[in-house]
Structure formats: structure tokens, C-alpha cells
Amino acid sequence: QVQLVESGGGLVQAGKSLRLACISSGTTSGSWTHYWHRTAPGKQREWVASISAGGITDYTDAVKGRFTIFRDTVENTVYLQMNNLKPGDTAVYSCSAKWGPYEAWGQGTQVTVSS
């Protein structure tokens, strides 16, 4: 049973930072890749960042240099550190995990960046 729960969203001014957390229970064994996605108002879901079981990370160009995905293996939590936030980052941020045929999604957390 894999369950993902996001937290850390909120309202923040442009230029400030937020750290999102994805508590990823049920993924302590296996070879799981974790992802962060976002859905902006009126837009389709967009992949933001990923981290493989071995710690290899990747990012969409829009957030490179500003966002960092990392994993705390002890706490089984995947984080998304978001720095220098911009109004265009406003979205519902969701995490997911995948291992072969297994996939799970969190419910999302709202991030609102004001100008």
C-alpha cells in the first residue's frame, strides 16, 4: 500500500521560498522514482522535477536553478525546495511515485505566489 501526502503549500510573496514535502509511505522497498508536478490555473498538469531511486534528479527548464528535489531516505520524504518564487509558479503541486507497474499520486497542495 503506497500512500503519498503533500504538505507545505501556502501563500508567499514573489522572490520568497517554500519547501514542499511528500511523505511517501510504502516505498521503503523497491526502486521508486518520485516526481513533482504542478497544475496551474487553466493549464494542463506539468512535470516539474524527478528523483530516481539512486538520487538522479531532473527538472523542467522553467524551474532549473530555482527548485531542488531531494529525498530523506530515513523519513521516506521527498522534498521540493522552491526558491525565488514567481507568480507563474502558482499552481497545485502534486507528488507521485512509480516502480514498474506500480504508481501512486498524492492529492496536491496549493502554492500561491503574489506579486
Per-residue pLDDT tens over the stretch 28-81: 777 999 999 999 999 999 999 999 999 999 999 999 999 999 999 888 899 999
Confirm if 22 and 78 have CB atoms less than 8 A apart.
yes
At 82, the amino acid letter reads M
Confirm if 76 and 23 have CB atoms less than 8 A apart.
yes
**Which grid cell is 103?**
504508481
63: left (phi over 0), alpha (psi -120 to 50) or beta: alpha
- pLDDT-above-70 percentage for the chain: 100
> What is the model's pLDDT at position 30?
79
Dmax of the chain from CA atoms? Answer: 42
> What is the model's pLDDT at position 81?
98
